[in-house]
Amino acid sequence: MDKQSYFYQFIEPLSKELALVARELENSIFTSPRTMLTHARVFVENILQQVIRAEKLPEDPRAALKDLLDMLNDKGYLIPEIRDALHFVRQIGNQAAHNSRMFRYSEALLSWEALYKIVKWYVEGYGPVDIIVPDYQDPSPTMEKRYDMSELEIRLKSLEELLSHSVEKLSTESALAESAAAVETPVAEVPVMEEGIPGVTTIRTLTFNGRQLEVPYFLRDAFLLPQRFDKSETFLIRLGAEQQARIMSELPKNLAGLHKHVKRYSEKNDEILFEELKTFIEEEKIRRKLSLERPGELFFFYKADHIIVTEELAKVLLTSEEFTGIPSLLRQLNEDQIESVGQLPKELVILAKYENVGIGTVEKLFEQLKKKVNEKASAVPEVEECIRTSYKKWDSLYINVKLGKGNTVIRGESVPALWKEGLNWIEDHHLPLHEKIKEGVVLGSTDTGKRYAMALEPVHKDKRNFTQMHTYKSKLTGTTYYLETKINPKSGLETLAKLLTKLGVEVKIPLLESNH
């Protein structure tokens, strides 16, 4: 597969839009499992809508995914495997939309595998016969550079210096090897460079009155948002007006004397800023770790605390009905066309910029957001271990047949299994099956189509080959019959019923008749 291709590229002839959505789902598996799980629901909902149109069933624009799924299941269009896959995608997607827990790559991969079953069923039953569904394939994580080149240079130079020092030490001590062996000497402590977390390498060291503060690489050009510094907010605003201390790289190596750039500030302000920078760096390290552990997640931050923003939380409107005690903030947000939670800035302290809005008001909003997160998480059940018993009636396909005085039920767990059981029954009763197969049994309830369901050769009326094929060897003639299995259960039932009727058998299909 070349760099530009993606797994579901093969469905572009059927639906370019569906293929592109599938591409984005594939890309999001390892970047944001939550995003993949949430939007997989929309993908399968679109597929079910296409099935409903193809089958000319009544459409309801207000119907949710579960409604579409239940309707198709009740009318016999879903075999158990597909029904269960649809329910899994729906249920895990609902969790991802509502629940703030961490979603794993493994869960996104399970959903991806369920999507494959659904797409395969859809393409084989409703797509062009010349589309070949490839075997299932796990997606591959995108391999990105772990370290920026500048950071990598720093790490390599530090390690090279360490290596050089160790070689010099070894050379100096070699002449004293015998005495050193007799005398126990302490082993020099080797500095440890943290591995596996790009960005934490120290890029600068700030000092103040003999104290040191290490700045990690990922913060080298971080914006020093004044609202993040409770006691130094005004000081930073004034420094910013003088083009000083706006970003981390603008800070001098020694903070002593920084106050001299603005009037009416003292060395005490330098000291307070130094202490608050220490807190700022520690908070940013926690946030970075959180972002690396939960890739693709959207967060709201307030001081050292945070909230996971789910799709459901993002939809909540910023109104007095949803949030109490902060009318002025809500009014000003709405005036700025910030009308839902998802439009809020991820750094909530910024909201203190609004008129008559202090940090206490922002804290009220944050606490109410946290409460809503907990409420929505508790309202969504975990994925069900089993599908409810109300769907059990479709655990097998079956038809009732009557020949003379005998009544029989022909069953199958799939369309090919049902057909083979039906063909066995026909031959057991010595009905003239071979002549019908020789003519070719057209797929569906009529003989007007171009596709065969069963024939002596795996070629359709329009000269195209069978797409998905099973075979059945006649017990009476020894002839091999070819079965086209790229169909849905409803067509499978109708085709077998049509064949049996032509052979003089009375047929009833309860699964279809009960839904007309």
Bridge partner residues of 206 (DSSP): 213
Beta strands in 254-381 (DSSP E): 299-302, 305-308
Contact 396, 510 (CB under 8 A): no
Beta strands in 134-263 (DSSP E): 202-208, 211-216
Whole-number pLDDT of residue 137:
87
What distance in Å separates the CA atoms of residue 409 and residue 20, rounded to the nearest whole number? 44
What are the residues whose beta carbons fall under 8 Å from the beta carbon of 492, sequence distance 6 or more? Answer: 397, 415, 418, 419, 453
Whole-number pLDDT of residue 413:
75
Burial class (CB in 10 A: 0-12, 13-18, 19+), 253: exposed
What distance in Å separates the CA atoms of residue 68 and residue 179, rounded to the nearest whole number? 85
Whole-number pLDDT of residue 224:
94
CA distances from 190 to 146, 155, 165 (A): 24, 14, 11
For residue 237, what are its two tokens? 């605003």
| Residue 9: other Cβ atoms inside 10 A | 15
For residue 136, what are its two tokens? 């299932």
Contact 16, 127 (CB under 8 A): no
What distance in Å separates the CA atoms of residue 67 and residue 494, rounded to the nearest whole number? 25
Which ranges of the chain have pLDDT less than 50?
A: 1-4, 143-145, 175, 178-196, 385-394, 515-516
Contact 299, 291 (CB under 8 A): yes
What distance in Å separates the CA atoms of residue 381 and residue 213, rounded to the nearest whole number? 46
Whole-number pLDDT of residue 192:
41
Burial class (CB in 10 A: 0-12, 13-18, 19+), 103: buried
Contact 218, 283 (CB under 8 A): no
Whole-number pLDDT of residue 1:
42
∠ CA 314-316-320, rounded to 5°: 140
What distance in Å separates the CA atoms of residue 232 and residue 234, rounded to the nearest whole number? 6
